[in-house]
Structure 1
Amino acid sequence: MNQPLRNIMTSEVFTVNESQSIREAAAIMSEHNIGALPVVNNSGQMTGFITDRDITLRSTAQGETAETPVSKVMTAQQIVQGTPDMDISQAAQLMAQQQIRRLPVVENGQIVGMVALGDLATEQEFDDEAEEALSSISTPSAPQE
């Protein structure tokens, strides 16, 4: 049964601007109890993604200050994205292949939603896809060089 992502995505997406500090990004994450934020430019176009793990490993562990701009520690290359009309099964397969737990949903260059692995798991008809995605995501990947 084909269902578009728009049926399960979270539409209220909190973002951070690439020029904001990692302190501000961490505060947004803390306030909304989330672990990742899409990074947008002044036009609202997604330019990257930052996670609580990025802040820890790419800034704190490297001796950066809390005022370090998000752009310095975000993931900016090869941001995997979905579209609102993408089939949920396709999204789960993409998340599994790319070993990601969160999929930003973009339309016309603007972030319009977010789908997390947990969103897939709450839809009973997609239990198999969620299980497969989690299994693939949990498989250790090769270290980056």
Structure 2
Amino acid sequence: MEVKQVMNREVIAVSPEEPVSVAARLMTRHNVGALPVRDRDGSLCGILTDRDVVTRCVALERPLQETSVARVMTARVATVPPTASLDQAAALLSREQVRRLPVVEGRSLVGMVTLSDLSRQAPAQDTADVLREITANIKHL
């Protein structure tokens, strides 16, 4: 099975110039933990996660309304093509220690795939193995 068969195609993205407060409201409204960040030409230039907001903005007491997404986003983003297998996506999630991957075709963002998306397709033991591997290397603050 390929990523394109399980990915979410309705992706809410944000621009790097937007204030973090706008991005946080989008995350809340759409019940997502991350937003892909697109530059002016629509290309993926980063990802903003709920963790980025907490650790790089809230914890440092930066005002959400005055801090741009570009200042707190993660610029180096692991991505996966829509034709990748679910095993390849799971391996990338594990290797990068992330829970979600933007799905990119060429320079275009075409979807998002999450650990939850993969877990609904995988046998229970495979899911447990991936979760264990991802959480084993998480560094605590």
State the TM-score, normalizing by the size of structure 2.
0.92
Following superposition of structure 1 onto structure 2, how do residues 121-136 of structure 1 map, counting pairs within 5 Å?
A: 121-123=119-121, 125-136=122-133
Superposition CA RMSD, Å: 1.6
Which residue in the other structure is 1:75 paired with? Answer: 74
Kindly indicate whether residue 135 of structure 2 is the aligned counterpart of residue 138 of structure 1.
Answer: yes
User: In the TM superposition, what is the alpha-carbon distance from 1:141 to its structure 2 partner?
Assistant: 3.7
User: In the TM superposition, what is the alpha-carbon distance from 1:143 to its structure 2 partner?
Assistant: 7.3
Contact 1:29 1:35 in 2 (8 A): yes
Which residue in the other structure is 1:12 paired with? Answer: 10
User: In the TM superposition, what is the alpha-carbon distance from 1:76 to its structure 2 partner?
Assistant: 0.5
Following superposition of structure 1 onto structure 2, how do residues 1-80 of structure 1 map, counting pairs within 5 Å?
A: 3-66=1-64, 67-77=66-76, 79-80=77-78
Name the amino acid aligned to 1:130.
T
State the secondary structure of the residue aligned to 1:137. Answer: helix
Aligned residues: 140
User: In the TM superposition, what is the alpha-carbon distance from 1:86 to its structure 2 partner?
Assistant: 0.6
Offset from partner CA, 1:14-62 (integer Å, 9 cap, x none): 1000000000000100100111001110111000011111111101111
Q: Give, in whole Å, the separation in 2 of the partners of 1:129 and 1:42.
A: 39
User: In the TM superposition, what is the alpha-carbon distance from 1:108 to its structure 2 partner?
Assistant: 1.4
Which residue in the other structure is 2:88 paired with? Answer: 90
Q: Give, in whole Å, the separation in 2 of the partners of 1:48 and 1:35.
A: 14
Calculate percent identity across the aligned residue pairs: 36
Which residue in the other structure is 1:111 paired with? Answer: 109
Q: Unaligned stretches of 5+ in structure 2?
A: none
Structure 1's consecutive aligned runs of 4 or more residues displaced over 6 angstroms after TM superposition are: none
User: In the TM superposition, what is the alpha-carbon distance from 1:81 to its structure 2 partner?
Assistant: 0.4
State the TM-score, normalizing by the size of structure 1.
0.90
Contact 1:4 1:85 in 2 (8 A): yes
State the secondary structure of the residue aligned to 1:48. Answer: strand
User: In the TM superposition, what is the alpha-carbon distance from 1:130 to its structure 2 partner?
Assistant: 2.5
